[in-house]
């Protein structure tokens, strides 16, 4: 395919804009012409909008009427690799191209000319008076050679106030300059000494690096128990990418994780990488976007959307905790960052490392089938050993009503407190109680807008809907029957468990860790840091603690309700329970003390619980894989979820029925349609939701069939349709 790369002034170009149109628009190339892929500003009606030159104009209308591109933005043009990638993601996820372009340009002020700010370097003169503080400032500037700092960075590094720096500027000992705001990131040095690797680790690194040196695409599943050194290993793959002059991207599931991780990157490579996540400032996001595009950011650590950054030469993508469900975006563009990382890497000849202690069945199956390489790290680093896992059979425990900590678990916690070790009590439910029941009439307080019960948050003194976020004050009287004082909390959430722990262990220091209890990611990080230092005897945590934090003094994990997620309607319920329980248990005994995990369960003989306890992972996956194969569901079959929603339930169902009746395009590829049925959450934010599920054989062209199936639909009024290919959560 020979594509025209450059368009002379006045030539017609097709521009893809971020506006919701189903086609590109033709404009005249501006003064000075423009390159294919150039980011441009174009007029659309009375507005100016962002776009990308996508190819030669289509023409077919009066040329005199064509408007001209307003200007070409001062950023690197979109590379062909990126255009191909966006097109393929659009085809795979059935997303219109303008939405893809929005995803790829999520940095504010892209078109702004580079703005300036003050930076500071070593000056020529000597200060008149030498103080400790002044010496530290000059020391920092000398240590970092020619590197420039902002005022804040310099003062922080030297541990002085900014007035000390300003004083040195007056004396000429420090130079103040104007510099473009979007500075390149500090150079990362792959050849600084890393840690001495163990035999297993070194072997893994050698395999990964050999793959990298081929310069071709390839994906490796890096499976290793928590604490086995997966991070150490993939940092060496990052080092190799940097040595090859290519860029690396490390995707992490949770912002709270990055603090610890960034420190490790700095220790390994001598500087901090670029960060991309929703907590980053607008200026920082813009800087990342631009520097990645011009090759002045060697490593990006980020959340899933970092995959859509305009890398100049991406050589490695690491997806850490690859099984994590937060890699699937479920609003806007429905995409799986893990799967799309593989797609992008295949296009640009990069390597992918999928790291996890408990891989997804998808990745496990791809490794089994030989599509992915697989490397196992089987032992924990140092003296750390895997925790011993045991069940507490709740049928045999003497429980007081309204309590959840069994006598056996209580004993185990007391033993740890005696030895000054930490215990974690895990419950995967935020708030105080999941249900508020009126003991007079039996009413359970529900959200006015959703098909969901309201969760009491005693800490906030409110009821909250976990679907739409709506809150209301806790009522004194039942909203249904009006009787006073009969409302009762049913079941435990993290806050209620903490209350019970306080009563059960009156002398212990208790810390609660739940994403909603902290005002900011920073506050949460600080708390995690404190706990890691040992500032808690008992940690009460939700899912948040299952993810990669290091608590060296933690030796006991008690799972309050191991049965909780076993019985979801979700085809991945068993897999999720298995992953979560193993992840949580992996928190115990990371340093030199052995750990123990105790699972409270009413079904100790359930196959999933048994697999968790025995640690027979391959056995679990084989059984799970066989079950899914027999049912023809992912990863051995394909699925898509169609959700129709609208303010009235009737018309939404009518459309669902129309779709179900006209399923010829699906039958042609051997696919089946289930539904329409009310979605598991039948109403969210006042919109009624009806769902159809499409199940197709593996390899069937499901996107094409779905497109032909839904295109004839005329959606009237306020009815919306969303398609979710490879749905992860069924709601
Ligand atoms: P994982 O990512 O598999 O959970 P990490 O890479 O975080 O494991 O390693 C767990 C802990 O052991 C970390 O504190 C890490 O620094 C340490 N560690 C792992 N391998 C080594 C090594 N070869 N030398 C020194 N420390 C190591
Ligand atoms: Zn709601």
Q: How far is the CA of 446 from the centre of ligand 2 (A)?
A: 8
Can you tell me which residue has the tokens 């933005």?
Answer: 73
- Exposure on the CB side of residue 390, measured as CA atoms within 13 A: 11
The pLDDT of residue 40 is 95
Confidence check: pLDDT of 518 > 80: no
* Other residues' Cβ atoms within 10 Å of the Cβ of residue 127: 18
Q: Is the CB of 231 under 6 A from ligand 1?
A: yes
Mutate to test the pocket of ligand 1, among 204, 223, 227 (most ligand atoms within 8 A of CB): 227
Upstream peptide bond of 489 is cis (omega within 30 degrees of 0): no
pLDDT category at 64 given cuts 50, 70, 90 is: confident
Residue 256 tokens, joined: 């709270």
CA distances from 328 to 43, 100, 116, 595, 689 (A): 35, 16, 38, 32, 20
Q: Is 356 in the pocket of ligand 1 (CB under 6 A)?
A: no
Ligand nearest to the CA of 450: 2
Q: What is the mean pLDDT of residues 306-328?
A: 94
Q: Give per-residue pLDDT as tens, 177-197.
A: 887 777 889 999 999 988 999
Does residue 258 carry a pLDDT above 70? no
Plot region of 322 (φ>0 → left; ψ -120 to 50 → alpha; else → beta): alpha
> What spacing in Å lies between the alpha carbon of 31 and ligand 1's midpoint?
56
* Higher per-residue pLDDT: 627 or 281: 627
pLDDT at 430 over 80: yes
Name the pLDDT band for 548 (thresholds 50, 70, 90): low
Q: Which of 229, 267, 355 to mutate to test the pocket of ligand 1 (most atoms within 8 A of CB)?
A: 229
Three-class SS string for 6-66?
EECCCCEEEEEECCCCCCCEEEECCCCCEECCCEEEEEECCEEEEEEEEEECCCCCCHHHC
pLDDT at residue 146, rounded to an integer: 59
Residue 255 has pLDDT above 90, yes or no: no
Mean pLDDT computed over 401-423:
94
Q: What's the rounded Cα separation, in Å, for the pair 511 and 528?
A: 10
CATH architecture of the region 6-103: 3-Layer(aba) Sandwich (3.40)
Measured CA to CA, the distance from residue 265 to residue 185 in angstroms comes to: 14
The phi-psi region of residue 585 (left if phi > 0; otherwise alpha if psi is between -120 and 50; otherwise beta) is alpha
Q: Quick one: which ligand is closest to 471's CA?
A: 2
| CA 462 to ligand 2 center in whole angstroms | 13
Tokens representing residue 493 in the block:
């959430």
Q: Which protein residue has the closest C-alpha to ligand 1 atom 5?
A: 229
Distance 228 CA to ligand 1 centre (A): 6
CA of 426 to the centre of ligand 2 (A): 26
Q: What pLDDT does residue 182 have?
A: 77
Name which residue sits closest to atom 22 of ligand 1, judged by CA.
Answer: 197
Q: ∠ at Cα 635 (629, 639), nearest 5°?
A: 100
Domains 199-377 and 388-429+492-624 share a fold: yes
In the CATH hierarchy, which top-level class contains the domain 637-725? alpha beta
Return d(Cα 312, Cα 294) in angstroms, integer. 6
Q: Which of 162-176, 205-219, 554-568, 678-692 has the highest mean pLDDT?
A: 205-219
pLDDT, average across residues 264-270: 93
CA-closest candidate to residue 123, choices 177, 183, 182, 185: 177
| pLDDT tens digits along 200-211 | 999 999 999 999
* Dist. CA 183–CA 181, nearest whole Å: 6
127-145 confidence digits (pLDDT tens): 888 888 998 898 888 876 5
- Residue 392: pLDDT above 90? yes
Q: Is 230 in the pocket of ligand 1 (CB under 6 A)?
A: yes
In this prediction, residue 1 carries a pLDDT of 40
What φ, ψ does residue 128 adopt, rounded to 5°? -70, -30
Q: Which ligand has the shortest distance to the CA of 583?
A: 1
Q: What is the percentage of the chain residues whose pLDDT exceeds 90?
A: 52
pLDDT of amino acid 2: 45
Residue 273 has pLDDT above 90, yes or no: yes
The pLDDT value recorded for residue 385 is: 63
- Domain at 388-429+492-624: CATH architecture: 3-Layer(aba) Sandwich (3.40)
Mean pLDDT (the chain, rounded): 88
Distance between Cα 450 and ligand 2 center (Å): 4
* Domain covering 116-180 assigned CATH 3.30.450.20 in the classification: no
| Mean pLDDT of all residues in 517-542 | 81
As its CATH architecture, domain 199-377 has 3-Layer(aba) Sandwich (3.40)
Shortest-distance Cα residue to atom 23 of ligand 1? 197
Look at 312-326, 379-393, 447-461, 684-698 and tell me which has the smallest mean pLDDT: 379-393
- Residue 67 above 90 pLDDT? yes
Predicted local confidence at residue 730, as pLDDT: 66
Q: Is 551 in the pocket of ligand 1 (CB under 6 A)?
A: no
pLDDT band at 675 (very low <50, low <70, confident <90, very high): confident
Q: Which atom of ligand 1 is least distant from the CA of 384?
A: 12
DSSP state of 143: H
pLDDT band at 383 (very low <50, low <70, confident <90, very high): low
CB 224 less than 6 A from any atom of ligand 1: yes
Beta strands 687-697 and 538-541, pairing class? unpaired
Question: Which range, of 111-115, 259-263, 636-640, averages the lowest pLDDT?
Answer: 111-115
* CA–CA gap between residue 532 and residue 549 (Å, rounded): 8
C-alpha of residue 471 to centroid of ligand 2, in Å: 8
For ligand 1, atom 6, which residue shows the shortest CA distance?
229
Q: Note the pTM of the prediction, 2 decimals.
A: 0.83
pLDDT at 566 over 80: no
Spacing, Cα 76 to ligand 1 middle (Å): 38
306 exposure class (CB count in 10 Å sphere: 0-12, 13-18, 19+): buried
Alpha-carbon span 88 to 353, nearest angstrom: 21
pLDDT for 55: 93
Rounded mean pLDDT of 367-388?
83
Q: Which ligand is nearest to the CA of 448?
A: 2
The tens digit of pLDDT for each residue in 52-61 reads 999 999 877 7
Q: Where are the domains of the chain?
A: 6-103, 116-180, 199-377, 388-429+492-624, 637-725
Among the bound ligands, name the one nearest to the CA of residue 466.
Answer: 2
């Amino acid at each position: 395919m020979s594509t025209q790369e450059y368009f002379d002034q006045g030539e017609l170009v097709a521009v893809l804009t971020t506006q919701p149109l189903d086609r590109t628009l033709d404009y005249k190339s501006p003064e000075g012409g423009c390159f294919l892929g150039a980011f441009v500003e174009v007029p659309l009606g009375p507005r100016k909008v962002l776009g990308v030159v996508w190819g030669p104009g289509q023409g077919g209308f009066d040329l005199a009427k064509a408007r001209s591109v307003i200007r070409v933005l001062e950023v690197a043009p979109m590379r062909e690799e990126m255009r191909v990638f966006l097109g393929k993601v659009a085809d795979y996820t059935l997303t219109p191209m303008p939405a893809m372009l929005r995803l790829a340009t999520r940095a504010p002020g892209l078109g702004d000319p580079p703005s300036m700010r003050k930076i500071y370097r070593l000056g020529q003169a000597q200060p008149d008076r030498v103080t400790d503080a002044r010496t530290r400032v000059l020391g920092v500037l000398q240590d970092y050679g020619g590197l420039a700092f902002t005022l804040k960075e310099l003062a922080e590094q030297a541990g002085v106030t900014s007035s000390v720096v300003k004083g040195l500027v007056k004396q000429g000992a420090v130079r103040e300059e104007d510099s473009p705001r979007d500075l390149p990131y500090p150079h990362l040095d792959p050849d600084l000494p890393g840690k001495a690797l163990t035999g297993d680790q070194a072997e893994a690194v050698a395999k990964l690096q050999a793959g990298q040196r081929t310069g071709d695409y390839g994906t490796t599943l890096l499976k290793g128990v928590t604490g086995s050194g997966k991070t150490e290993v993939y940092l060496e793959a990052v080092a190799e990418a940097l040595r090859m002059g290519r860029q690396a991207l490390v995707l992490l599931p949770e912002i709270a994780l990055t603090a610890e991780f960034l420190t490790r990157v700095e220790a390994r490579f001598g500087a901090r990488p670029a960060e991309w996540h929703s907590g980053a400032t607008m200026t920082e996001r813009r800087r990342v976007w631009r520097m990645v595009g011009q090759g002045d950011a060697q490593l990006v650590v980020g959340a899933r959307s970092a995959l859509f950054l305009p890398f100049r030469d991406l050589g490695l993508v690491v997806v850490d905790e690859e099984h994590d469900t937060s890699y699937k975006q479920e609003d806007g563009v429905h995409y799986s960052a893990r799967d799309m990382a593989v797609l992008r890497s295949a296009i640009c000849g990069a390597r992918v490392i999928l790291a996890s202690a408990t891989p997804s069945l998808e990745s496990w199956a791809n490794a089994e089938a030989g599509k992915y390489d697989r490397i196992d790290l089987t032992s924990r680093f140092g003296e750390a050993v895997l925790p011993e896992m045991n069940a507490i059979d709740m049928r045999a425990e003497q429980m007081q009503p309204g309590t959840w900590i069994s006598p056996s678990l209580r004993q185990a916690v007391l033993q740890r407190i005696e030895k000054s070790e930490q215990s974690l009590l895990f419950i995967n439910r935020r708030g105080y109680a999941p249900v508020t029941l009126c003991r007079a009439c039996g009413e359970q307080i529900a959200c006015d807008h959703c098909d969901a019960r309201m969760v009491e948050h005693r800490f906030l003194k409110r009821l909250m809907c976990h679907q739409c976020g709506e809150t209301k004050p806790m009522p004194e009287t039942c909203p249904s029957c009006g009787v006073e004082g009969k409302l009762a909390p049913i079941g435990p959430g993290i806050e209620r468990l903490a209350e019970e722990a306080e009563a059960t262990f009156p002398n212990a220091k208790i810390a609660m860790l739940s994403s909603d209890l902290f005002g900011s990611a920073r506050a949460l990080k600080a708390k995690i840091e404190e706990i890691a230092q040992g500032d808690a005897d008992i940690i009460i945590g939700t899912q948040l603690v299952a993810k990669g934090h290091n608590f060296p003094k933690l030796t006991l994990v008690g799972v309050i309700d191991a049965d909780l997620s076993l019985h979801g309607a979700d085809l991945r319920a068993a897999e999720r329970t298995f992953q979560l329980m193993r992840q949580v248990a992996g928190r115990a005994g990371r340093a030199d003390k052995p750990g123990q995990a105790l699972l409270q369960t009413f079904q100790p003989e359930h196959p999933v619980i048994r697999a968790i306890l025995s640690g027979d992972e391959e056995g679990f996956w084989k059984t799970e894989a066989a079950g899914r194969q027999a049912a023809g569901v992912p990863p051995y079959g394909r699925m898509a979820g169609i959700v129709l929603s609208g303010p009235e339930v009737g018309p939404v169902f009518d459309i669902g029925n129309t779709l179900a009746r006209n399923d010829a395009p699906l039958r042609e590829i051997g696919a089946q349609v289930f539904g329409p049925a009310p979605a598991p959450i039948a109403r969210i934010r006042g919109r009624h939701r009806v769902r159809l599920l499409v199940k197709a054989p593996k390899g069937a062209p499901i996107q094409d069939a779905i497109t032909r199936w839904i295109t004839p639909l005329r959606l009237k009024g306020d009815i919306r349709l969303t398609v979710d290919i490879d749905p992860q959560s069924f709601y």
